[in-house]
Amino acid sequence: MRFLIWQTAYLGDVVLATPLIETLKLNFPESDIAFVGRPFILELLKGSPVKLIPYDKSLRGSFKTLKEIKSYDVAVSPHVSSRTAIILALSGIRERIGFDRSELPFLYTRRVKHLWDVHEVERNLKLLEPLGIREKVRATKLYMSSEERNKHLRKFSLREKGYVVISPSSNFPLKAWYKEGWRELAESLSGDFTVVITGTKKDVNLAEFIRGKHTNAISLAGKTSLRELMAVVSGSRLVISNDSSPVHIANAFGVPAITIYTATSSLYGFYPLIGGFLESGLECSPCSPNPKSCKVGKPECLSSVRVNDVIDLAHKLLDV
């Protein structure tokens, strides 16, 4: 049997789809499994027991992927876009399983009810039930050898389990906790731990603001590759983040994480599997899974989670 998993969304969504890989391997140990995702999967899922098929959304890329996946028997798609539904239908894969809220759902041969009030891992695993699978792996998993991790940590002069990671940025501004809160949090934690601030090149100024003048806080914003970020996260004692991928990367390596929710909430099912979360509690929350504009015109949610509550939860998880 040849299985294809299709998840071309963001980093965190791909991490939360890894239990599909592990569950299929458990129930069909002799099967071939492939994973279609954005090109970053070549780094993110390196070492995973699947064939990795990077997907380019261009017309040429779509036809290339279409040709590559034609030989598979079953396609499982947590992704809900019309593009995904069309490509899978054109592939000729005889069994195509997707959610009932997918765009163009009639193009799937099996449709599974999509529920918001469960964790994304459980939601995705429901897609395997039409295959008769009952024994499920619920833990997310990424692969990295201790040798690779240590090499990357040495590059940044970090000692494993000797620091806390905070990740203050987000692809969606309404998911980002206010910068003054991050700065106060970093100041508090840096009394007991080295604080490592992560982010991309666009986050350099934000990271420097949060770091301030604290000698026990360092910024790696814009300085890490994806594999290096994974090493830094996996070697930490705790990760504190917005509703974003570092939470799920941390959990995939068994590291506890804290999600600070602003416009979104745990209702959508992307909360940490290991760790905890804090929510705004405002009447207007949540907006949507990926909010683009404030529906009440004044995003009070960005600063509604109290810094002291984050510090208290962090100390509890750090056992200090």
Can you list the residues of the chain whose pLDDT is less than 70?
320
CA dist 36 and 4 (Å) reads 7
CA dist 265 and 237 (Å) reads 24
Look at strands 238-241 and 163-167 and give their pairing: parallel
Q: Which residue in 250, 233, 155, 148 sits closest to 198, CA to CA? A: 233
CA dist 94 and 108 (Å) reads 10
CATH (residue range 2-131): 3.40.50.2000
Record the tokens describing residue 155, joined without a space. Answer: 């590059």
User: Which residues belong to CATH 3.40.50.2000 in the chain?
Assistant: 2-131, 146-318
Q: Which residue in 150, 84, 228, 309 sits closest to 317, CA to CA? A: 309
CATH of 146-318, picked from 3.40.50.450, 3.40.50.2000, 3.40.50.170, 3.40.50.10440, is 3.40.50.2000
Record the tokens describing residue 164, joined without a space. Answer: 């806390």
Q: What is the pTM of this model?
A: 0.95
Look at strands 110-112 and 51-54 and give their pairing: unpaired
pLDDT confidence of residue 245: 96
* Residue 89 near residue 110 (C-beta atoms within 8 A): no
pLDDT confidence of residue 215: 79
Taking the CA of residue 33 as centre, how many other CA atoms within 13 Å lie in the half-sphere pointing to its CB?
22
* Residue 47 near residue 149 (C-beta atoms within 8 A): no
Tell me whether the omega of the peptide bond preceding residue 246 falls within 30 degrees of 0, making it cis.
no
CA dist 285 and 290 (Å) reads 12
pLDDT confidence of residue 296: 84
Query: What residue type is assigned to position 137 of the chain?
Result: V
- The model's pLDDT over 222-277, given as tens digits with 9 standing for 90+, comes to 999 999 999 999 999 999 999 999 999 999 999 999 999 999 999 999 999 999 99
pLDDT confidence of residue 320: 65
